[in-house]
Homo-oligomer: A and B are copies of this chain.
Amino acid sequence: MRVTVNRKAHFNAAHRLYCQDWDNVKNEAVFGKCNNPNFHGHNYELIVSVTGAINPQTGFVIDLNDLKTLIYEKIELYMDHKNLNEQVPEFKTLNPTAENIVVVIWQRLRQHLDEALDLAVTLYETPRNFVYYDGKA
C-alpha cells in the first residue's frame, strides 16, 4: 500500500527570463515583459509530494515535520526573498523559468530522501500557471 503525502510551502522571489546565447532583440521578442532587465517577481507556491509505504507503527509515510523542515532548509532558506538570477547559483547560467525552477527544487530535495520514496514537485508561478516534475524521463 503506497500512499502519497503532500505538503504545501511558498517563497517569494524576483527573476527575469533571459537566454545568454541571444542578443537583447531576440530575448525581448521571445520573453516579452518577462525579460524586463529590472526584474519582476512572484509568490511561488510549492507542493512537495512523497510516495511510499505506510510505517505500521507511526502510520506515517514520512513525518510531516521532517518534510516541512527539509523544504524549509533546502528550498525556502535558499530561494525566499531572493533574486533568483543574481543570488541562486543554479540560475547564474540556467534561465529561471518555472520549468527549470521545478527541476532544481526536485533535485535539491531528491538527494535528501530515502530511495524507497518517490518524489514529485508542483510549482505555481501564478494562480493560473503551474508546472510539475516527478523525475521521470
Binding site for B on A (CB under 8 A): 1-10, 12-15, 17, 19, 21-22, 30, 32-34, 36, 38-43, 45, 49, 54, 57-61, 63-65, 80-83, 86-87, 94-100, 102-103, 126-133, 136-137
C-alpha spacing A17/B7, complex, angstroms? 19
Q: Nearest chain B CB to A50's CB is how many angstroms away?
A: 10
A3 touches B132 (CB 8 A): yes
Give the residues in chain B near A12, CB-CB below 8 Å. Answer: 40-42, 126
C-alpha spacing A120/B2, complex, angstroms? 12
A19 touches B131 (CB 8 A): no
Give the residues in chain B near A7, CB-CB below 8 Å. Answer: 128-129
B87 touches A10 (CB 8 A): no
Q: Which of B49, B131, B136 contacts A6 (CB 8 A)?
A: B131
